[in-house]
Amino acid sequence: MHKPGEIVDGVYLVGGQNLTDMRDCCVYLIDGGGELALVDAGVGLSGWSILDNIKKLGFDQKLLKYVIATHGHIDHIGGLSFFQSLGAKVVAHVLELDAISKGLAHLTAEQYYRLKYQPVEADLVLKGERQDIQIGGRTLHCLHTPGHTPGGISPYVDINKVRVLFGQDIHGPFNASWGADLDQWQASMEKLIKLKADILCEGHFGVYQPADRVRQYIEHYLEQYAD
């Protein structure tokens, strides 16, 4: 197992296949100064491990205010109930509620992981193109980026003139049963390119930087899935 680590001042990797359960997505921690937020929550078997990693970085778990679900697949949302039980507020886009709050199995993709998802009610429901969340002194911009799923979001935060993008599952895959749409995804990827992010915190493949490499990563998948 690797150790949790700092990506840039205020952003940390605290979960993922080399840190927690092999089936976990990458789980990122944002320190807003006085408040913390997680981007995604893993499959649901690593809650205590993620908390332990937060402690190892020197943070108080009681400061965890939000858990932001980038989309409704179980490898990203399985741990929502655990963190919500500790007092964190679950944030999700309205178009992902059939997965997150109703737990519809064909939308959570739980069959791929042979795990049962525990539905939760979202405390903060995002709507529209972009909605901002305040995490202590930092503003997290939650951009609606449908394609992989209908209500997928790609949050980003600007820290000391460095733009950090949480572009979970840019790489796909795409399955019509959970509402994937390649045309929407291509449009979403163009939006991400226009952000000119300096650092990409991806959903399964880790961290990419600087800005040129972020753009190349996104463009690689646009080319791969081009008609």
What percentage of the chain exceeds 90 in pLDDT? 92
Domain 5-224 belongs in CATH node 3.40.50.300:
no
The answer to whether residue 150 scores a pLDDT higher than 60 is: yes
pLDDT digits (tens, 9 = 90+) for 66-115: 999 999 999 999 999 999 999 999 999 999 999 999 999 999 999 888 89
pLDDT digits (tens, 9 = 90+) for 151-165: 999 999 999 999 999
C-alpha of 99 from chain center = 15
Query: From the CB of residue 168, how many other CB atoms can be counted at a distance below 10 Å?
Result: 28
pLDDT of residue 112: 87
Separation CA 157–CA 189 (nearest Å)? 17
For 147, which DSSP code?
A: S
pLDDT digits (tens, 9 = 90+) for 18-28: 899 999 999 99
The answer to whether residue 1 scores a pLDDT higher than 70 is: no
At 215, list the tokens. Answer: 């753009």
Query: From the CB of residue 215, how many other CB atoms can be counted at a distance below 10 Å?
Result: 17
Q: What does the domain layout of the chain look like in residue ranges?
A: 5-224
Pairing of strands 153-159, 138-144: antiparallel
